Amino acid sequence: MADVETVRGPIPLEALGTTLMHEHVFVLSEEIRENYPDSWDEEARVNDAIQKLRKMKAAGVDTIVDPTVIGLGRYIPRIVRVNAGVDINIIVATGIYTFNDLPQFFHFQGPGTLFGGEEPMIAMFLRDIREGIAGTSVKAAFLKCAIDHQGLTRGVERALRAVGSAAKETGVPVTVHTNVRNRSGLVVQKLLREEGVDLAKVVIGHSGDSTDLDYLTALLEAGSYLGMDRFGIDTLLPFEARVATVAELCRRGHARQLVLSHDASCYIDWFPVAIEATLPNWHFTHIHDDVLPALRERGVSDDDIRTMLVENPKRYFAKAG
Ligand SMILES: [Zn+2]
Q: Which of 114-118, 130-134, 273-277 has the lowest mean pLDDT?
A: 273-277
pLDDT at residue 126 greater than cutoff 70? yes
Whole-structure pTM value = 0.97
Q: What's the 29 CA to ligand 1 centre distance in angstroms?
A: 14
Residue 275 — pLDDT band, cuts 50, 70, 90? confident
Tell me the per-residue pLDDT of 219-273, one tens digit each, with 9 for 90 and over: 999 999 999 999 999 999 999 999 999 999 999 999 999 999 999 999 999 998 8
What does the pLDDT read at residue 272? 85
Q: What's the 264 CA to ligand 1 centre distance in angstroms?
A: 7
Tell me the per-residue pLDDT of 94-122, one tens digit each, with 9 for 90 and over: 999 999 999 999 999 999 999 999 999 99
Q: What's the 263 CA to ligand 1 centre distance in angstroms?
A: 5
Q: What's the 26 CA to ligand 1 centre distance in angstroms?
A: 10
Q: What's the 88 CA to ligand 1 centre distance in angstroms?
A: 19
Q: What's the 86 CA to ligand 1 centre distance in angstroms?
A: 21
Do β-strands 11-12 and 3-4 pair in parallel, antiparallel, or remain unpaired?
A: antiparallel
Q: What's the 234 CA to ligand 1 centre distance in angstroms?
A: 15
pLDDT at residue 1 greater than cutoff 70? no
- Cα–Cα dist 99/206, whole Å: 14
Buried b (16+ CB within 10 A) or exposed e, 30-60: eeebeeeeeeeeeeebbeebbebbeebbeee
pLDDT at residue 39 greater than cutoff 90? no
End-to-end CA distance of the chain: 14
Q: What's the 205 CA to ligand 1 centre distance in angstroms?
A: 8
Q: What's the 266 CA to ligand 1 centre distance in angstroms?
A: 12
Q: What's the 14 CA to ligand 1 centre distance in angstroms?
A: 25
